[in-house]
């Protein structure tokens, strides 16, 4: 598979479709599974990891659902291609840092990406745009069942699925939503709310997952507990928290608009002005402005923008994407310059 193909359009999860997608960008399910009789990936030698590949590929070949997925060996990718997959949220940082014996099974629309031999033998990720945890779960569950037809998963009757890290033991499920919360940031309510979320045993991360900051006012909220609850309990608990966050965000936006309409409009239009005029722009600055554009679109202030374009910009202004799009290695300043050019092109028709 040529990764260039991916550049032509954003992954499905960035389409800005699905319920409540103005605040809840995407819903994601991740299932961790391991194959009985194999040591966990961090203990595997090369031969064992090849054997695991073979078993997985056999299971894939027998499934009409999995057959169309691309089986991509991580070590065959250039560093740039691996960075591209990371920027698209298809693999983890760990999966690209040491890529030997690791692979990726990828569905073309990027709804499903399966890391092989990351922390666990299988890390099935399903990600969809909007607030749609149950549908996302159903897809993930169906894909897991396809593997289960031909693979024996490591499973204990008393505690459930066994995983490399004890925090995933049991259901092996991590469910999360990516939320856009500029209103809670502007009203400075965000910290208090995230503290409450943590007390309820949910985890918050930034746009690029574990260890990343909340750039662009995006937050990923996920379950922490994987043991002692059923999958549907986990999903319904998370859905409850997400709904709460959504209504808090809506309240915050209403408050800002009612109290500070003009200065909100000013900030939003200036963000567009900067994106349309700068000649050098760093990626973090871009993400902040794009976040305001998204808000401006949601509030009906800026017209003529579509969510898919803006969501896609969040991804394609990243370093690896820029270098793939412009087909060359770029220095830091060249990237800032080309990023600015790309933004001006993409936003050309939006008037300030």
42, 201, 213, 277: which one contacts its own copies (CB under 8 A)? 277
- Report, in Å, the least distance between residue 290 CB and its own copies: 15
158, 333, 345, 349: which one contacts its own copies (CB under 8 A)? 333
> 220: which 2 tokens?
């990923």
- Report, in Å, the least distance between residue 280 CB and its own copies: 4
Using CB under 8 A as the binding rule, whether residue 269 contacts its own copies is answered as yes
47, 188, 199, 279: which one contacts its own copies (CB under 8 A)? 279
What dihedral angle (degrees, nearest 10) is formed by the CA atoms of 137, 139, 144, 150?
A: 160
Using CB under 8 A as the binding rule, whether residue 280 contacts its own copies is answered as yes
Residue ranges in the chain assigned as alpha helix (H) = 4-7, 46-62, 79-87, 93-97, 133-148, 182-186, 190-199, 231-277, 283-298, 307-316, 319-325, 332-346
9, 273, 284, 328: which one contacts its own copies (CB under 8 A)? 273
How far CA 20 is from CA of 17, 26, 131, 242, 265, in Å, comes to 8, 9, 6, 11, 22
When the beta carbons of 238 and 292 are compared against its own copies, the nearer one is 292
User: What CA–CA distance (Å, rounded) separates 22 from 110?
Assistant: 20
Using CB under 8 A as the binding rule, whether residue 259 contacts its own copies is answered as no
75, 195, 266, 306: which one contacts its own copies (CB under 8 A)? 266
When the beta carbons of 179 and 281 are compared against its own copies, the nearer one is 281
When the beta carbons of 90 and 292 are compared against its own copies, the nearer one is 292
- Report, in Å, the least distance between residue 310 CB and its own copies: 17
Q: 175: part of which helix (H) or strand (E)?
A: strand 173-180
Residue ranges in 88-169 assigned as alpha helix (H) = 93-97, 133-148
User: What CA–CA distance (Å, rounded) separates 319 from 328?
Assistant: 11
- With CB under 8 A as the contact rule, which of the stretches 8-16, 118-126, 247-255, 332-340 interacts with its own copies? 332-340
Using CB under 8 A as the binding rule, whether residue 297 contacts its own copies is answered as no
- Report, in Å, the least distance between residue 336 CB and its own copies: 8
- With CB under 8 A as the contact rule, which of the stretches 70-78, 89-97, 168-176, 274-282 interacts with its own copies? 274-282
CA end-to-end span of the chain = 40
Are 349 and 304 within 8 A, CB to CB? yes
When the beta carbons of 282 and 325 are compared against its own copies, the nearer one is 282
> 165: which 2 tokens?
């890290």
Are 238 and 202 within 8 A, CB to CB? yes
Using CB under 8 A as the binding rule, whether residue 284 contacts its own copies is answered as no
Q: 204: part of which helix (H) or strand (E)?
A: strand 202-205
Using CB under 8 A as the binding rule, whether residue 263 contacts its own copies is answered as yes
When the beta carbons of 97 and 277 are compared against its own copies, the nearer one is 277
- Report, in Å, the least distance between residue 23 CB and its own copies: 24
* DSSP one-letter string for 28-57: EEEEEE-BTTS--GGG--HHHHHHHHHHHH
8, 262, 327, 345: which one contacts its own copies (CB under 8 A)? 262
What does the binding site for its own copies look like in residue numbers (CB under 8 A)?
262-263, 265-266, 269-270, 272-274, 276-281, 333, 337, 340, 344, 352
């Amino acid at each position: 598979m040529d990764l260039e193909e991916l550049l032509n359009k954003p992954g499905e999860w960035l389409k800005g479709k699905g319920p409540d997608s103005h605040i809840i960008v995407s819903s994601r399910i991740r299932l961790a599974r391991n194959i009985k009789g194999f040591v966990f990936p961090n203990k595997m030698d090369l031969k064992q990891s090849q054997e695991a590949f073979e078993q997985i590929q056999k299971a894939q070949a027998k499934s009409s659902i999995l057959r169309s997925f691309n089986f991509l060996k991580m070590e065959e990718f250039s560093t740039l291609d691996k960075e591209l997959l990371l920027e698209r949220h298809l693999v983890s940082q760990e999966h690209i840092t040491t890529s030997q014996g690791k692979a990726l099974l990828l569905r073309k629309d990027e709804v499903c990406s399966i890391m092989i031999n990351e922390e666990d033998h299988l890390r099935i990720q399903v990600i969809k745009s909007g607030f749609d945890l149950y549908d996302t779960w159903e897809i993930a569950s169906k894909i897991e069942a396809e593997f289960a037809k031909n693979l024996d998963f490591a499973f204990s009757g008393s505690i459930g699925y066994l995983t490399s890290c004890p925090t995933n033991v049991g259901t092996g499920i991590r469910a999360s939503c990516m939320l856009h919360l500029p209103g809670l940031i502007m009203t400075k309510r965000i910290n208090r709310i995230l503290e409450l979320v943590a007390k309820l045993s949910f985890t918050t991360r930034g746009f690029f997952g574990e260890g990343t900051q909340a750039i662009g006012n995006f937050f990923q909220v996920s379950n922490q507990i994987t043991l002692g609850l059923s999958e549907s309990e986990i999903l319904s608990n998370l859905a409850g928290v997400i709904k709460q966050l959504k209504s808090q965000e809506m309240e915050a936006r209403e408050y800002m608009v009612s109290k500070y309409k003009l200065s909100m409009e000013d900030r939003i239009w200036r963000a567009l002005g900067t994106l349309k005029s700068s000649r050098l722009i760093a990626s973090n600055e871009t993400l902040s402005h794009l976040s305001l554009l998204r808000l401006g679109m949601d509030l009906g202030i800026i017209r003529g923008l579509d969510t898919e374009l803006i969501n896609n910009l969040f991804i394609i202004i990243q370093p690896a994407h820029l270098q793939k799009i412009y087909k060359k290695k770029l220095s830091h300043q060249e990237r800032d310059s080309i990023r600015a050019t790309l933004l001006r092109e993409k936003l050309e028709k939006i008037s300030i």
